[in-house]
Structure 1
Amino acid sequence: MRSAIIVALAAAASAASTPASLLKRQYHAAKPRLTADALKAHITAENLLAGSQKLQDFADAHPNNTRVIGSPGHNDTIYWLKSELEALDYYDVTLQTFSLVAMVSGQINAVIIDGANTTAGLLEYSASGAVTAPLVPVANLGCEASDYPAEVAGNVALISRGSCEFGLKSALAGSAGAAAAIIYNNAAGGFNGTLGVPPRPEGEYLPTVSISSELAATYLDAISGGATIDATIDVTTVVQNTSTSNVLATTRMGDHSNRLALGAHSDSVAAGPGINDDGSGTVGVLEVAKALSKYHVNNAVTFGFWSAEEEGLIGSTYYVENLPANESSQIRAYLNFDMIASPNYVFGVYDGDGDAFNISGPSGSTQIETFFEDFFESAGVNSTPTAFTGRSDYGPFLTANIPAGGLFTGAEVLKTEEEEEMFGGEAGVALDICYHAACDDITNLNMFAYELNSKAIAAAVATYATSWEGFPARNTTTVSRRSVVTDQMRKRKQPRHHGHRHGGCGHVPKASQ
Structure 2
Amino acid sequence: MIVSEPYRKRMFITLCVIGLVGIATLALAAATLGTLIKRFDSIVSTPITSKPKLNSTLAETIRIEDLMTHLRQLQRIADESNGTRAINTRGFNETVNYIEKYLNEQGTLLKVTRETFKIRNFAIATDPILLSLINGTEKNYTYSSKLARSDFTYAIYSTEANFSDYVPLINIPNFGCAKNEWQNTQGFAALVKAGGPCTYAEKGILAGKNDVKALLFYNDGETNANLAPISVRLRETNKLPALYLSYAAGQALANATLSTLVMVKLSIQLQNLEDFPVDNICADTTDGDVTQTIVVGSHSDSVPAGPGINDNGKDIVLVFK
For the superposition of Structure 1 and Structure 2, which TM-score range results when normalised by the shorter chain?
A: 0.5 to 0.7
User: Secondary structure at 1:106's aligned position in 2?
Assistant: coil
CA gap 1:89/1:269 in 2 versus in 1, 3 angstroms: same
Q: Does 1:105 align with 2:126?
A: no
Asked which structure has the greater RCO (Cα within 8 Å, sep 6+), the reply is 2
The amino acid across from 2:266 in the alignment is: T
Q: Does 1:123 align with 2:155?
A: yes
1:376-398 Cα deviation digits (max 9, x unpaired): xxxxxxxxxxxxxxxxxxxxxxx
Q: Does 1:83 align with 2:101?
A: yes
1:349-364 equivalent positions in 2, closer than 5 A: none
Contact 2:179 2:206 in 1 (8 A): yes
Alpha-carbon distance in 1 for matches of 2:157, 2:184: 25
1:68-102 Cα deviation digits (max 9, x unpaired): 3x5544333222211233245464352242535x2
Match of residue 215, structure 2, among 181, 187, 193: 181
1:213 corresponds to which residue?
247
Alpha-carbon offset, residue 241 of structure 1? 5.4
Alpha-carbon offset, residue 271 of structure 1? 7.2
Contact 2:74 2:95 in 1 (8 A): no
2:301 corresponds to which residue?
267
Q: Which TM-score applies when normalising by structure 1?
A: 0.39
1:178-327 equivalent positions in 2, closer than 5 A: 178-188=212-222, 189=226, 190-198=229-237, 204-226=238-260, 228=262, 230-236=264-270, 243-250=277-284, 255-257=287-289, 261-268=295-302, 274-286=308-320, 288=321
Q: Which TM-score applies when normalising by structure 2?
A: 0.58
CA gap 1:168/1:86 in 2 versus in 1, 3 angstroms: closer
Contact 1:126 1:237 in 2 (8 A): no
1:116-136 Cα deviation digits (max 9, x unpaired): 304434433322344464560
User: Secondary structure at 1:236's aligned position in 2?
Assistant: coil
1:157 corresponds to which residue?
190
| Length, aligned pairs only | 240
Alpha-carbon offset, residue 277 of structure 1? 3.2
Contact 2:182 2:207 in 1 (8 A): no
Contact 1:167 1:205 in 2 (8 A): no
Contact 1:138 1:148 in 2 (8 A): no
Match of residue 172, structure 2, among 139, 156, 165: 139
1:10-32 Cα deviation digits (max 9, x unpaired): xxxxxxxxxxxxxxxxxxxxxxx
Judge which range, 266-275 or 156-165, deviates more.
Answer: 266-275
Can you give the 5+ residue segments of structure 1 that lack an aligned partner in the other structure? 1-33, 199-203, 289-513
Contact 1:56 1:275 in 2 (8 A): no
1:160-189 Cα deviation digits (max 9, x unpaired): 233433234334434544442111234531
Alpha-carbon distance in 2 for matches of 1:273, 1:236: 26
The amino acid across from 2:169 in the alignment is: V
Match of residue 67, structure 1, among 86, 92, 95: 86
Alpha-carbon distance in 1 for matches of 2:252, 2:86: 36
Identity among equivalent positions (%) equals 20
1:361-372 equivalent positions in 2, closer than 5 A: none
How large is the RMSD of aligned CA atoms in angstroms? 3.8
More helix by share: 2
User: Secondary structure at 1:169's aligned position in 2?
Assistant: helix
The amino acid across from 1:222 in the alignment is: A
